[in-house]
Structure 1
Amino acid sequence: MTFTYVPRNRTEIRTLSVLESLGLANYALPKILDDLNPQDVREISRRARLFAHIHPIPTRPVTGELGSVLEKNLYGYVLDKYGSVTALARSFIGGGRGVVITTGNLYFQFAVHLIRSLRMLNCDLPVEIWYNGAKDLNTTNTDFIKNFHQVKVKNIRDHFSVKMETWDIKPFAVIASAFEEVLLLDADTVFAQNPEVLFNDEGYIKNGALFFNDRSLFPGQGEKSNWILSMFPEPHSIRLQNLRMLQAKSQYELEAGCLLLDKRRHFHGLLAVGWLNCPGPIKDTIREETHGEKETFWIGLEMLDESYSFMPNLPGSLGTVTYNEGDRVEELCGKLAHFGRDGKLLWFNDAIAASKLPEDYFLNVLSDLTHYALEREGEWEALCLRKGPFHKLDEDQLKMIEKLKSLYRFNPIERTLKPPVEDFEQ
Structure 2
Amino acid sequence: LHQLLYSWLYNFKYNSFEDLIKSFHGKGLVISVGNHHFNFARSTIDNLRNIIKSDIPIEIFYYGDNDLSEDKRNILSKYDNVYLSDLSTYFNNSQLRLEGFALKPFSILASRFEEVILIDADTVYLRDPMTLFNDTGYIKKGTLFFQDRHFETSPFDSYKWLKTWINNPLPDTTKLRIWNEKTIDQMESSTVVINKSKGILGLLAACKLNEEKYKSIVYKHVYGDKETFWIGYEIARQPFYFNPLRPAIISKVESVNSETTRFCGHIGHKSEDGKFMYWNGHLLLDKNSNNPKLIDF
* CA 1:220–1:87: 2 relative to 1, 3 Å: closer
- Distance 1:126-1:222 versus aligned 2 partners, 3 A rule: closer
Structure 1 residue 303: deviation in Å? 1.0
Cα deviations by residue, 1:178-215 (Å, 9 ceiling, x for unpaired): 00000000001011222111111111111110000011
Supply the RMSD in Å over aligned alpha carbons.
2.0
**Contact between 1:222 and 1:245, CA under 8 Å: does it hold in 2?**
no
Shift, 1:332, TM fit? 3.3
Q: Structure 1 unaligned runs (5+)?
A: 1-69, 370-426
CA distance in 1, matches of 2:239, 2:232: 11
- The structure-2 alpha-carbon separation of the partners of 1:312 and 1:285, relative to structure 1 and needing over 3 Å to count, comes to same
Query: Do structure 1's residue 361 and structure 2's residue 291 form an aligned pair?
Result: yes
Alignment check: 8 A CA contact 2:248 2:267 kept: yes
**Amino acid paired to 1:180:** E
The residue aligned with 2:237 is 305
- Tell me the equivalent position of 2:70: 139
**Secondary structure of 1:197's aligned partner:** helix
Higher relative contact order (CA 8 A, sep 6+): 2
Describe the shift of the 1:263–1:244 C-alpha distance in structure 2 as closer, same or farther (beyond 3 A).
Answer: same
1:126-275 to structure 2, matched below 5 A, reads 126-160=57-91, 161=93, 162-218=96-152, 224-232=158-166, 234-275=167-208
Report deviation, 1:73.
Answer: 1.4
How far apart, in 2, do the equivalents of 1:327 and 1:169 lie?
Answer: 44
> Which structure would you say has the larger Rg?
1
User: Do the aligned partners of 1:220 and 1:248 also contact (CA within 8 Å) in 2?
Assistant: no
Deviation at 1:84, TM superposition (A): 2.1
2:219 is aligned to: 287
Other-structure match for 1:87: 19
Identical pairs, percent? 33
Relative to structure 1, the CA distance from residue 218 to residue 354 in structure 2 (aligned partners, 3 Å threshold; closer, same or farther) is same
In the superposition, relative to structure 1, how do residues 326 and 239 fare at CA in structure 2: closer, same or farther (>3 Å)?
same
- Name the structure 2 match of 1:340: 271
- Give the deviation of 1:111 after TM superposition: 0.5
* Unaligned segments of structure 2, at least 5 residues: none
- 1:223-261 per-position Cα deviation (integer Å, ceiling 9, x unaligned): 6445314444x4322111121111111111110000100
Amino acid corresponding to residue 15 of structure 2 in structure 1: G
What aligned pairs does 1:92-107 form with structure 2 within 5 A after superposition? 92=24, 95-107=25-37
Q: Distance in 1 between matches of 2:16 and 2:251?
A: 48
Which residue in the other structure is 1:321 paired with?
Answer: 253
Instruction: Specify the code of the residue in structure 2 equivalent to 1:277.
Output: N
- For residues 163 and 220 of structure 1, the distance between their equivalents in structure 2, rounded to whole angstroms, comes to 27
What is the aligned partner in structure 2 of residue 396 from structure 1?
none
Offset of 1:335 from its aligned partner? 1.3
Preserved CA contact (<8 Å) 1:174 1:184: yes
Residues 150 and 222 of structure 1: is their aligned pair in 2 closer, same or farther, counting only changes over 3 Å?
closer
Please list the CA deviations of residues 148-193 of structure 1 after superposition, one character each: whole Å capped at 9, or x if unmatched: 0000111110101221121111100000000000000000101122
User: Following TM superposition, by how much is the alpha carbon of 1:361 offset from its aligned partner in structure 2, in angstroms?
Assistant: 3.0
Count of aligned residue pairs for this structure pair: 292
Distance in 2 separating the partners of 1:283 and 1:318: 31
> Residues 367-426 of structure 1, C-alpha deviation per residue, up to 9 Å, x if partnerless?
113xxxxxxxxxxxxxxxxxxxxxxxxxxxxxxxxxxxxxxxxxxxxxxxxxxxxxxxxx
Evaluate the alpha carbon distance shift between residue 222 and residue 321 of structure 1 in structure 2; reply closer, same or farther with a 3 A threshold. closer
Q: Output the CA distance in 1 between the equivalents of 2:40 and 2:243.
A: 25
Within the candidate set 270, 280, 283, 1:349 is matched to 280
